[in-house]
Amino acid sequence: MVDSVVNPAGERSGATGSARRGRESMGQFGALGLHLADARVEASVLGLLESVEAELRATVTSADPLVTEAARHLVDAGGKRFRPLLVSLGAQFGDPADPRVVSAAVVMELTHLATLYHDDVMDEAAVRRGAPSANSRWTNSVAILVGDYLFARAADLSADLGPEAVRLQARTFARLVHGQIAETVGPRDGQDPVAHYLGVIAEKTGSLIATSARFGGLFSGASAAHTEALAGYGETIGVAFQLSDDLLDIASESVQSGKTPGTDLREGVPTLPVLYALASDDSDAASVRLREILATGPLVDDALHAEALGLLRESPALKRARETVRSYAEEAREQLALLPETSSRRALESLCDYIADRTG
């Protein structure tokens, strides 16, 4: 997923904390390669993100203190708030002051956070956003139920936005589930592993980002054509961003990707460069040796892990994966062609440039 640490876990809520988190979200614009040259648009987006933070905390509050604490666990841990950001930017093509825009952004972030609780259980993760994961802190059962609670709160808030919001949120949730099932089961007999992987990313990551951008246009009163363009952009940029994270896990020499380089390789996660390497019929010694190592599964042996990482960094597979990321970034840019030439459109285009550039 598209997330990294922004705020320390357990930061207190309230007006001061909300404003601080809003400013920190703006500080993340540089980290995302997002350029807001228009002071008016910047103020609008900042105000929306501050309001989202406040409403997030209010929405997850429960009469049960344990539920409140567990539900706020990831809310307080922060994150890029990429989905609320896309809602906020999409709203710039209508009336961003419409109060439904904030609620729509909260629906998207709650849905995203709920998936993280469930993902951590499935992955047996011990840490999330620099803090102990909910499952390691409270048990798997509590983490699953809290994720369900967040889905329920998102659905409740969607109902206030009207039937179309409920339908869109439900269909997005269905796509998320389909993507998770496909990832869990793996490619079916005869299915191309690369096509399967790209489909999983579109369902698990692209779908929610697409709906986020769509919600921004829809609930700000943007035209139907502009709203459709935003949704198409959101899905494609979401896939591009996730794929670029795959590449950073291999190509970065630091923790630029938010985790130790080669983590996916060590855990046997078949990301795009690995899938391209395995599918390659290159007969040079390096490519043959790389396929031999990757075929063994998770690389827990330090020497093999280091060898495979080095071979991947110099491989045609990594170059091909970079080209794939750039193609998605350019496709996302093309989706914006129907939008008016404004600073908001240029901000969305700057994300395309950033993703194309961040992976070399």
Residue 312 near residue 277 (C-beta atoms within 8 A)? yes
Dist CA 260 CA 318 (whole Å)? 18
Q: Go through the domains of the chain in sequence order and give each one's CATH number.
A: 55-222 (1.10.600.10), 238-348+355-360 (1.10.600.10)
**DSSP single-letter state for residue 187:** P
Q: Which residues of the chain are under the pLDDT cut of 50?
A: 1-23, 25-26, 255-257
Q: In this predicted structure, what is the pLDDT of residue 7? A: 34
Question: Which of 122, 116, 137 minimizes the C-alpha distance to 10?
Answer: 137
Q: In this predicted structure, what is the pLDDT of residue 253? A: 67
Q: In this predicted structure, what is the pLDDT of residue 67? A: 86
Query: What is the per-residue pLDDT across 231-273, written as a single tens digit (0 to 9) for each?
Result: 999 999 999 999 998 898 888 765 444 557 788 888 888 899 9
Residue 176 near residue 118 (C-beta atoms within 8 A)? no
Give me the torsion for CA of 286, 292, 297, 301, rounded to 10°: -70
Q: In this predicted structure, what is the pLDDT of residue 254? A: 56
Q: In this predicted structure, what is the pLDDT of residue 187? A: 92
The Cβ of residue 60 has, within 10 Å, a number of other Cβ atoms equal to 25
Q: In this predicted structure, what is the pLDDT of residue 18? A: 44
The Cβ of residue 348 has, within 10 Å, a number of other Cβ atoms equal to 26
Dist CA 206 CA 234 (whole Å)? 7
End-to-end CA distance of the chain: 20
Q: Which residues of 277-304 are buried (b: 16+ CB within 10 A; e: fewer)?
A: beebeeeeeebeebbebbeeeebeeeeb
Residue in the block written with tokens 């469930």: 118
Give me the torsion for CA of 324, 322, 332, 271, rounded to 10°: 70
